[in-house]
């Protein structure tokens, strides 16, 4: 018989190279169509997260600013730190200082030390009886020398004053709350409010609150629980020394701007806060405007 020689199987080197090159081109095109949308999605997700973080931080600040004691908001800048401070209020009411149905023992006396008075409207958002030695009462803070709550005189009770608020009523007038102040343990036991409020407003103040935006470390931090001081604190060290508790509000802060347009007797003050957050090559900037009650 005759032996037949069959051709050998397999690929030549040139065929293999061509196949690899063509396959690489196909994979490259596939990767391009997959990676670009994935990168776009990741970038969009990062921007959305930054927007959400910035919006949450600004809304947090806005709530504090909206509850600020009239004429107590102040701003300052020192190096890479932008600071805003306010005196936070818990509630407010209207005090009794006279009238045809008045009870003299429940009127607030502005001519001498008075440790007890009644209100014609109840303190809102407050469960009575209520007592504290860390809060303050403020009347007619207009933010000028002699009537500036940061001076801790004339328009705000001394630190350590015992304040008690209870439910109260009298047949001689429509009273809602009775306010008792104990100055005995304070450094100013003869304190009296220097000025009456045209609207007879009395504010219950919980204490100062500061926000520091430090772009050198990329943080926006809230500080509370420290003592009221005449000079505005613009550093974490100063606030810590005053007993402040710090809470991080936002990271990745690339820029901040706090501005205050002072109000008048007819117009509220306006705070403008701008925050820029930057991360992974993405950057967003948001701006909020907050109206602040200006009537003391």
pLDDT-based confidence at residue 49 (cuts at 50, 70, 90): confident
The partner residues of 282 in beta bridges, in order of sequence, read 279
pLDDT at 185 (0 to 100):
80
pLDDT at 155 (0 to 100):
96
Go through 223-236 and write b for each residue having 16 or more CB atoms within 10 A of its CB, e for each that does not. bbebebeeebbbeb
How many Cβ atoms sit within 10 Å of the Cβ of residue 200?
A: 18
* pLDDT(174) > 80: no
Each residue's pLDDT tens digit, 54-106 = 899 999 999 999 999 999 999 999 999 999 999 999 999 999 877 656 677 78
Mean pLDDT (the chain) is 86
Contact 252, 279 (CB under 8 A): yes
Q: Which residue has the higher pLDDT, 201 or 185?
A: 201
Percent of the chain with pLDDT over 90: 56
Q: Is 245 exposed, middle or buried (0-12, 13-18, 19+ CB in 10 A)?
A: exposed
pLDDT at 254 (0 to 100):
92
* pLDDT(197) > 90: yes
pLDDT at 43 (0 to 100):
62
pLDDT at 227 (0 to 100):
92
Each residue's pLDDT tens digit, 202-230 = 999 999 999 999 999 999 999 999 999 99
């Amino acid at each position: 018989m005759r032996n037949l020689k069959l051709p050998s199987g397999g690929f030549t080197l040139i065929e293999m190279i061509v196949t690899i090159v063509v396959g690489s081109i196909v994979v490259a095109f596939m990767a391009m169509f997959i990676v670009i949308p994935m990168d776009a999605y990741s970038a969009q997700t990062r921007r959305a997260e930054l927007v959400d973080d910035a919006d949450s931080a600004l809304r947090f600040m806005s709530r504090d600013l909206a509850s600020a004691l009239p004429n107590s908001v102040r701003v300052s800048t020192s190096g890479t730190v932008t600071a805003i401070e306010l005196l936070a209020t818990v509630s407010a009411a209207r005090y009794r200082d006279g009238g045809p149905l008045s009870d003299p023992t429940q009127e607030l006396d502005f001519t001498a030390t008075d440790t007890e008075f009644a209100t014609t409207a109840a303190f809102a958002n407050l469960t009575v009886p209520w007592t504290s030695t860390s809060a303050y009462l403020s009347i007619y803070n207009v933010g000028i020398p002699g009537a500036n709550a940061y001076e801790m005189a004339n328009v705000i009770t001394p630190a350590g004053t015992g304040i008690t608020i209870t439910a109260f009523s009298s047949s001689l007038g429509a009273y809602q709350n009775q306010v008792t102040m104990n100055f005995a343990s304070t450094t100013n036991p003869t304190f009296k409010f220097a000025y009456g409020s045209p609207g007879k407003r009395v504010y219950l103040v919980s204490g100062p609150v500061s926000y520091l935006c430090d772009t050198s470390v990329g943080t926006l931090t809230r500080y509370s629980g420290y003592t009221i001081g005449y000079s505005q604190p613009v550093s974490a060290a100063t606030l810590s020394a005053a007993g402040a508790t710090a809470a991080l509000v936002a990271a990745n802060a690339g820029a901040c701007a706090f501005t205050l347009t002072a109000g008048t007797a007819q117009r509220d003050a306006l705070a403008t806060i701008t925050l820029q957050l930057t991360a992974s090559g993405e950057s967003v900037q948001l701006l909020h405007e907050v109206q602040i009650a200006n009537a003391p």
